[in-house]
Amino acid sequence: MRVLAAMSGGVDSSVAAARMVEAGHEVVGVHLALSRMPGTLRTGSRGCCTIEDSSDAQRVCAHLGIPFYVWDFSERFKEDVVDDFIAEYAAGRTPNPCLRCNERIKFAALLEKALALGFDAVCTGHYAKVVTVDGRKQLHRAAAWAKDQSYVLGVLTGEQLDHALFPLGDTPSKDLVRAEAARRGLETASKPDSYDICFISDGDTPGWLSEKVDLTPGEIVDREGNVLGHHQGAQTYTVGQRRGLSIGRPAPDGRPRYVLEVRPVTHEVVVGPKEALAVREIVGARQSWCGAPPAEVAEGLDVEVQVRAHGDPVPAHVRAVEGETVITLVDPLLGVAPGQSAVLYLGDRVLGQVTIDRTVAAEPALAQ
């Protein structure tokens, strides 16, 4: 089988490629140049697409004895991931750029090009599993739940799963992957993990956004509309945020206040107590399925839902209503924001995901 190994320059993709070579496949390594500043160097351990990462990936491929290429996807990454991220925040939503990158770059643009060049599959270092059931591919959680990345792969379609390989899916821990890399003599064995948003190198999302979004000063208000303070731009706040509110005085009950809603049209940030973050229903029209959706969704299906990459799955009931996916939570969930992705699970199997358009608060008066 001809396999295109997506090489980020990290230990996971290095070991994944090594396992494909060891399995006897014809493997070619490719590093995606996603930055529009090709001289960019890694800041700390945040990066995953810098010039240093490209060099690391090249050295690994040389060690494995496989061809190595760099493909420039920077323009498409800017349009499909970075610009989308900016537009979502400008609209008062909270996007997940890693999901968008997997959807539109690694398993759309990259896979499309790989297939056009005659490759059979794309291999990555994600911690997830592709399982064949009754002749059809399904996406499942990884064996290492602490490293499971099936959430950010919840946007994959059935056709994409047919050409996706995740060699690390059955590995019980990241420590074992690092130990294997060391045994294989891979230079990336002790390389730190990347984290946060790759195109915001210092991790200061509000600061980065302030240079990209037209910010208008506005008011910070409570649920009754009382003005508690002022801000320089509503788009730099996210639902569930507690720090950096600059209200200046405690609430009457002395308890912390959190961002409940961002209103970019009126330039208001609504704050309130933690319990006011609780939602009982999640609704979205932009859904995708990892293969054919279960027929039961039309009538209603008991599932688990996860709304953050490192969040815990919670029991819920999902149903299709007039072109929308409605997810009713068994127990209220805190701090769910429009723009996030709700990934649906049936046991370890990923059914698909829906981008959250709105939520219904556990207290009706707080509905967004």
Annotated catalytic residue, options 61, 101, 123, 290: 101
**Backbone φ, ψ for residue 319 (5° rounding):** -150, 155
Strand ranges for the chain from DSSP E: 2-6, 26-33, 68-72, 121-123, 128-133, 136-141, 164-165, 218-221, 227-231, 258-263, 268-272, 278-284, 286-289, 301-306, 314-321, 324-334, 341-346, 349-355, 358-361
Residue 198 CB-density burial (10 A; 0-12 exposed, 13-18 middle, 19+ buried): buried
Annotated catalytic residue, options 48, 61, 198, 290: 198
Look up 101 and say whether it is catalytic: yes
Q: Is the Cβ–Cβ distance between 142 and 150 less than 8 Å?
A: yes
Look up 98 and say whether it is catalytic: no
Residue 344 β-bridge partners = 305, 352
Q: What is the dihedral of CA 296, 302, 304, 307, to 10 degrees?
A: 70
CA 51/CA 38 separation, integer angstroms: 7
Burial 163-189 (b: 16+ CB within 10 A, else e): bbbbbbbebeebeebbebbeebebbbb
Write the DSSP symbol of residue 296. G
CA 68/CA 87 separation, integer angstroms: 35
Active site positions, annotated:
101, 198
